[in-house]
Structures are given as C-alpha cells and as structure tokens.
Amino acid sequence: MKIDNITVSAIVYSTEDPEKVGEAIATLFPFEFEIQVSHATGHYGNPIMFLEVEIKKKREIKEFWNHLIKLLGEQRTILIEFLDRLIDENGVLHIRIDKQQAYLGKVELAFGGDCIVVKAKLVTFPSKREKLIEFAREILSKGL
C-alpha cells in the first residue's frame, strides 16, 4: 500500500492575485516546490489560471503527507468520517483546504467553493474500495 503521487492545485480567478494564491499553497509544503501554471477562460470569458504542484518522489510524498496531517490536526477525524465520499472510483483521495485561511497560514478543511485541492493517488493490493478506505484511514491516523 502506498501513495503513488500527490497533486496540489488551486484556481486563480481574475479578481485574485496569483502570488497570494501561491503563498496559500506554500502553507501546505515543508519543502521547496515548483508550481506549474496554465491559463484558461472562465464561463463568462474571464481569464483564470490553474496553479498545480505534482509530487512524485517517494521521499517528498512522505514528507508532504506527514506535514499535511500534522497541520490538519483534529480535523483528520472529519476526513476519516467521510472517507467513503472522499475517495473516487480511481482510488484518489480528495482533500479540500480553505484557500483564504491557508493564505493566512491556517489549514482548515473546506467542503466546497474556492479552495486548494489535494489529491492523493492511493494504491492497494488488491485494489478494492474497502482496502483503499482502510489504507486512507491508516495514513490519516498515523501518517506514512
């Protein structure tokens, strides 16, 4: 059982400062990282940016994950309670962090709206939903 990769992303709307959104993302990281930037057009023709960080190295995955669950503290119990809704059919655990609070240096869960999305690709053998949920419960409780 392992986390294969982690993606951290956020949308920057035309009313937002990309630097500040980058700082919000940085709140989640215990190490240096590189943000990939892509541009798109919103529903009403407004420009939007996507900021994304991919973590693929085993050591960095472990360091990031353990740092994240430390930052989440007691909020982890909420994630554990709703694991069946947070893991998709591809074995990806979705965690949403409040973007504004992250900019202020606080890590708080978000349940919709404008947020930073952390996606952790979980791998278990066999790759059954029950095993994925069990693994997610374990790594949210104890870390990697």
CATH architecture of 2-142: 2-Layer Sandwich (3.30)
Count of positions (residues) in the chain: 144
User: Coil, strand or helix: which one is 121?
Assistant: strand
What ranges make up the beta strands (E) of the chain? 2-12, 36-41, 47-55, 92-98, 115-123
Instruction: With CA atoms as reference, report the closest residue to 57 among 85, 82, 32, 81.
Output: 32
pLDDT, tens only, 16-43:
999 999 999 999 999 999 999 999 988 7
The predicted model gives 52-64 an average pLDDT of 98
Tell me the percentage of the chain whose pLDDT exceeds 90: 87
pLDDT at 48: 92
User: Coil, strand or helix: which one is 29?
Assistant: coil
Task: Indicate yes or no: pTM above 0.85.
Answer: yes
Instruction: With CA atoms as reference, report the closest residue to 118 among 2, 3, 4, 6.
Output: 6
What are the sequence ranges of the domains in the chain? 2-142
Tokens standing for 92? Answer: 């990806």
Asked if pLDDT for residue 112 goes beyond 90, the answer is: no
Cβ 135 vs Cβ 122: under 8 Å: yes
Provide the edge-to-edge strand list for the sheet that holds 47-55. Answer: 36-41, 47-55, 2-12, 115-123, 92-98
Phi and psi at 143, nearest 5°, equal 85, -175
Rounded CA separation 21/39 (Å): 15
pLDDT at 46: 86
